[in-house]
Amino acid sequence: MDGKGRHSEPGESESPMTAADHANGYARSRRRLTWARAGALALVPAMTAVLAAAQASGPLRPPPPAPSSRPPVPVVAEKPEALPMPPEEIIRRFVANEEQILRAIMGYSFERSIRVEELGPDNKPIGQVESVTQHTPGPDGRPSMKVIRRAQSTLQYVELEPRDLDGAVSTPLFPLVPSQLANYEIRYEGKQPLDELSAYYFSVRPRALNRTRAFFSGVVWVDEQDLVIVKSIGKWISETGEVKVAQLPFIVFETYRQQVAKNLWFPAYSRSDEPLQADAKTSVPMRMTIRWSHYAFPPEVPAAPAASPAPPAPVPSP
């Protein structure tokens, strides 16, 4: 999309990205999605009809009592607004953009924090564990990870150390790329405002399940202007059941993205709330929060320790 808000057609060339583009893009996302962190789950309890009907015969199960585990079901307008293009074309474009975003993020460095909390009756943490890491693309294209901070675990019901969090989240961040499109049924459900954004939302479910592979099932919100996914709520499921995070109860995640550059919306915040059945009489509310920040391109490489000064050369004997 150019500076006038016009979408670039497929194959249309764009000017090279500058540092100002990156800064302006991030400022735009902060201005338009400032509500994401403060009200991450505000929409979920009010959504009750569309996705349940769309997925009645699919893999998405009836919602459990926990608010975050409710599949998102945006309210359907009585008279749907006319679209500027067929839903199939919107799907084609945002799926193509997902491929571009996936390729682009591989060239960025970023920080990621993962926090798991046990919540008390007042919904405040009574125990937690956290790990903060920096991820940097290597010369061979493989990302490297460096630990920045690990907070000592104060969890009371789960034995979990900070290092256990580093590999806890392994599901793909971008499941709807062109190579995976045939595996999914994507249906246009309507249009909905998201803070200062106006977004289309689509229900997504796998066409078939597999014992060896998991697929995304849920809803995605697509920005009307940039035709990119800016929010998603869903879970991963296979023929053997729902995919959990390690031995933890987290299944359904609500994820928001931020704009870091022109048409590049990267993950910013993800959260899941699920109860842990500690024993036959004790159910403990738990929360996992993942944050991505400090995106940098060219990537910021962690500084190497300063080398010790070389010893002075010996003075030749007279």
How many domains does the chain fold into?
1
User: Over 50: is that where the pLDDT of 119 sits?
Assistant: yes
Cβ–Cβ < 8 Å for 192, 199: yes
Confidence of residue 161 (pLDDT cuts 50, 70, 90): confident
Range among 25-34, 74-83, 219-228, 302-311 rated most confident: 219-228
Residue in this structure with the two tokens 């991820």, named with its chain if needed: 135
- Give a yes or no: residue 315 inside a domain: no
Q: Give pLDDT, residue 314.
A: 55
How many Cα atoms within 13 Å fall on the side-chain side of residue 255? Answer: 26
Range among 56-60, 186-190, 310-314 rated most confident: 186-190
How many Cα atoms within 13 Å fall on the side-chain side of residue 237? Answer: 21
- Percent pLDDT > 90 in the chain is 52
- Give a yes or no: residue 305 inside a domain: no
- Give a yes or no: residue 224 inside a domain: yes
- Give a yes or no: residue 204 inside a domain: yes
- Give a yes or no: residue 7 inside a domain: no
Q: Could you report the per-residue pLDDT of 198-248, keeping only the tens digit for each?
A: 999 999 999 999 999 999 999 999 999 999 999 999 999 999 999 888 778
**Higher per-residue confidence, 15 vs 250:** 250
- Give a yes or no: residue 2 inside a domain: no
CA atoms of 288 and 272, how far apart (whole Å): 5
User: Over 90: is that where the pLDDT of 41 sits?
Assistant: no
Q: Could you report the per-residue pLDDT of 45-93, keeping only the tens digit for each?
A: 333 343 343 333 333 233 333 444 444 555 454 556 778 999 999 999 9
Please state the rounded mean pLDDT for residues 164-168. 80
- Give a yes or no: residue 40 inside a domain: yes
Q: Which of 17-26, 241-250, 252-261, 278-287 has the lowest mean pLDDT?
A: 17-26
Confidence of residue 166 (pLDDT cuts 50, 70, 90): confident
Range of the domain at 73: 19-296
CA atoms of 132 and 160, how far apart (whole Å): 15
Closest residue by Cα to residue 218 from 13, 74, 87, 15: 74
- Give a yes or no: residue 286 inside a domain: yes
CA atoms of 290 and 39, how far apart (whole Å): 15
**Higher per-residue confidence, 108 vs 56:** 108
Average pLDDT, the chain: 77
On the 0-12 / 13-18 / 19+ scale of CB atoms within 10 A, 276 is middle
Confidence of residue 176 (pLDDT cuts 50, 70, 90): very high
Q: Give pLDDT, residue 116.
A: 95
User: Over 50: is that where the pLDDT of 6 sits?
Assistant: no
